[in-house]
């Protein structure tokens, strides 16, 4: 590559910057390795790449500058506020440039999210890598080119100024999901890496997780989670999709003990479809769960599949999905999903909120045949009510079923709305609740009350379906502070 070195194109003046007071110029970074990370806020593969970015910037803190280039897919992603929320949710501490019209994307001939461009200490492009799972390859390149720079005595150790703007302190931080049982609500307090139990008046009664990200079994606050999302209560056990740990956890509600029942904390990629030891099976960003006749069904967002765990035999298998990312219907070994993130089940089928295809899918039980109810492809999205054939969603992430009225409530996350899917009339309508939402990620029905995890506003909403009155659940601090 040395015979055809290409100078890295300078970053344009049109970018909007996060985590820095001034635009970053590549020409001012001579003597440092530079890594451009092209990402978009809702992409699960980009989230996986962020783990690699954190590792690399920690290892090469004096010699490497990472610049995340946010290149939007959805209209929702075009807003700078969306980018700021994503930066804070994912704890990104390096400069981030919002490339709203994809000028940097075009300059560097990027074709997919995530993509990495590595630039050497003299400002020349080393190469471009597409997709996640590139840590070792990038690490080796950085070491190689830093050795060359050291031999030339051109290393620059001057730090790049960073100014982060964290979210305001609150009892909840980016709550992902909420479920209700009896007099209790269970909330995946994702930004605080914990699960919180409260009563219907907001009094915190129990907390599971220390607050520090980690994979640690134990009792109550002594345990550790990492970005927990989906919750499911089965008898005396609360199951947790511990997304950041690529694991399924189980909380004994009688003893407060947290146990890992699947996953070992590492991200897994498999061609196999059957696994006899869940504890040694590496999962891939489990996001939600549902339960049917002894089987725990898991929306494996990272591998674009639906898995199931037999709770009696303690075994795992891929239930549906090839592992590719797209929107294709058919039998379990033919169907293709795109970041499935929400599940709901009745006696006949599982409903799936397929986030990246902005679609609602249906899996027929027990044969696993998948049918798309709404949605046409990875780049068909919008905000339109009407019949199923014409309505549009934007990155929906959660579902709940109202079997009495044949309705499916949808957290249409990137439209910041709640939609109602009428199963009898085959129509979609916006539920006007009289209050602005901010990327709701969770939804749950209990009697005539709809509970909403208003994720980016760090709050839980209580909506009375009879009179359409909505209120914020005011949480009261427990005796032990968060």
In a domain, 160, yes or no: no
The reported pLDDT for the residue numbered 1 is 40
Total residue count of the chain as it appears in this document: 482
The stretch 45-55 carries a mean pLDDT of: 97
**210 and 340 share one domain:** yes
In a domain, 161, yes or no: no
**148 and 185 share one domain:** no
**187 and 145 share one domain:** no
Share of the chain above pLDDT 90, in %: 95
Share of the chain above pLDDT 70, in %: 98
Residue 3 has pLDDT above 90, yes or no: no
In a domain, 158, yes or no: no
* Tokens matching residue 160: 């790049």
**210 and 341 share one domain:** yes
**112 and 213 share one domain:** no
Tens of pLDDT, residue by residue over 122-178, are: 999 999 999 999 999 999 999 999 999 999 999 999 999 999 999 999 999 999 999
The reported pLDDT for the residue numbered 479 is 58
In a domain, 134, yes or no: yes
In a domain, 397, yes or no: yes
The stretch 66-87 carries a mean pLDDT of: 97
The stretch 405-423 carries a mean pLDDT of: 98
pLDDT confidence band for 480 (50 / 70 / 90): low
Burial of 402 (0-12, 13-18, 19+ CB in 10 A): middle
- For the chain, what is the total number of helices (H) and then of strands (E)? 4, 34
pLDDT confidence band for 271 (50 / 70 / 90): confident
**280 and 378 share one domain:** yes
Residue 28 has pLDDT above 60, yes or no: yes
**236 and 308 share one domain:** yes
**235 and 350 share one domain:** yes
Residue 440 has pLDDT above 50, yes or no: yes
pLDDT confidence band for 482 (50 / 70 / 90): very low
Tens of pLDDT, residue by residue over 225-247, are: 999 999 999 999 999 999 999 99
Interatomic CA distance for residues 216 and 224, integer angstroms: 5
In a domain, 170, yes or no: no
**123 and 216 share one domain:** no
The total of structural domains in the chain comes to: 2
The reported pLDDT for the residue numbered 366 is 86
Q: At what angle do helices 135-152 and 44-59 cross, to 10 degrees?
A: 30
Residue 481 has pLDDT above 80, yes or no: no
The stretch 245-264 carries a mean pLDDT of: 98
CB atoms within 10 A of CB 296: 21
The CATH number of whichever domain residue 281 belongs to comes to 2.120.10.30
**323 and 360 share one domain:** yes
Tens of pLDDT, residue by residue over 304-348, are: 999 999 999 999 999 999 999 999 999 999 999 999 999 999 989
Cα 413–Cα 48–Cα 239 angle in degrees, nearest 5: 65
Q: What is the mean pLDDT of the chain?
A: 96
Domain range holding 37?
A: 2-152
The CATH number of whichever domain residue 49 belongs to comes to 3.40.30.10
């Amino acid at each position: 590559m040395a015979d055809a070195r290409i100078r890295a194109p300078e970053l344009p003046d049109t970018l909007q910057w996060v985590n820095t007071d001034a635009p970053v110029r590549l020409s001012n970074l001579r003597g440092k390795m530079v890594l451009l990370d092209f990402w978009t806020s809702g992409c699960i593969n980009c989230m996986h790449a962020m783990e690699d970015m954190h590792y690399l910037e920690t290892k090469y803190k004096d010699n490497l500058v990472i610049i995340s280039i946010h290149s939007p897919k959805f209209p929702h992603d075009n807003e700078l506020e969306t980018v700021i929320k994503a930066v804070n949710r994912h704890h990104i501490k390096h400069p981030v440039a919002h490339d709203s019209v994809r000028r940097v994307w075009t300059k560097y001939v990027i074709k997919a999210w995530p993509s990495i461009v590595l630039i050497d200490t003299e400002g020349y492009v080393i190469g471009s890598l597409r997709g996640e799972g590139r840590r070792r390859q990038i690490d080796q390149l950085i070491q190689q080119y830093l050795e060359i720079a050291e031999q030339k005595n051109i290393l620059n150790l001057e730090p790049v100024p960073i100014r982060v703007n964290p979210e305001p302190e609150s009892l909840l931080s980016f709550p992902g999901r909420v479920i209700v049982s009896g007099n209790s609500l269970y909330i995946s307090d994702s930004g605080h890496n914990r699960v919180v139990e409260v009563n219907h008046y907001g009094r915190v009664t129990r907390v599971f997780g220390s607050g520090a990200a980690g994979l640690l079994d134990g009792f109550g606050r002594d345990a550790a989670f990492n970005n927990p999302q989906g919750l499911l209560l089965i008898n005396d056990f609360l199951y947790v999709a511990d997304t950041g740990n690529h694991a399924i956890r189980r909380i004994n509600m009688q003893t407060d003990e947290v146990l890992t029942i699947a996953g070992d904390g590492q991200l897994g990629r498999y061609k196999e479809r059957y696994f006899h030891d869940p504890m040694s099976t590496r999962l891939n960003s489990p996001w939600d769960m549902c339960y049917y006749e002894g089987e725990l069904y898991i929306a494996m967002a990272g591998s674009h599949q639906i898995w199931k765990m037999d709770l009696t035999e303690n075994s795992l298998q891929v239930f549906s999905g090839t592992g590719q990312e797209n929107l294709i219907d058919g039998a379990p070994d033919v169907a293709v999903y795109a970041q499935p993130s929400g599940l709901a089940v009745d006696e006949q089928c599982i409903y799936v909120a397929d986030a990246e295809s902005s679609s609602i899918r249906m899996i027929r039980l027990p044969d696993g045949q998948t049918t798309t109810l709404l949605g046409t492809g990875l780049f068909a999205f919008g905000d339109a009510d009407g019949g199923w054939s014409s309505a549009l969603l934007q990155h929906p992430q959660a579902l709940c079923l109202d079997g009495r009225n044949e309705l499916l409530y949808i957290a249409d996350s990137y439209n910041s709305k709640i939609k109602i899917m009428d199963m009898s009339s085959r129509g979609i309508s916006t539920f006007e609740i009289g209050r602005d939402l901010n990327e709701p990620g969770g939804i749950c029905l209990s009697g005539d009350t709809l509970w909403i995890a208003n994720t980016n506003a760090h709050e839980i909403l209580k909506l009375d379906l009879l009179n359409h009155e909505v209120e914020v659940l005011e949480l009261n601090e427990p005796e032990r502070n968060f």
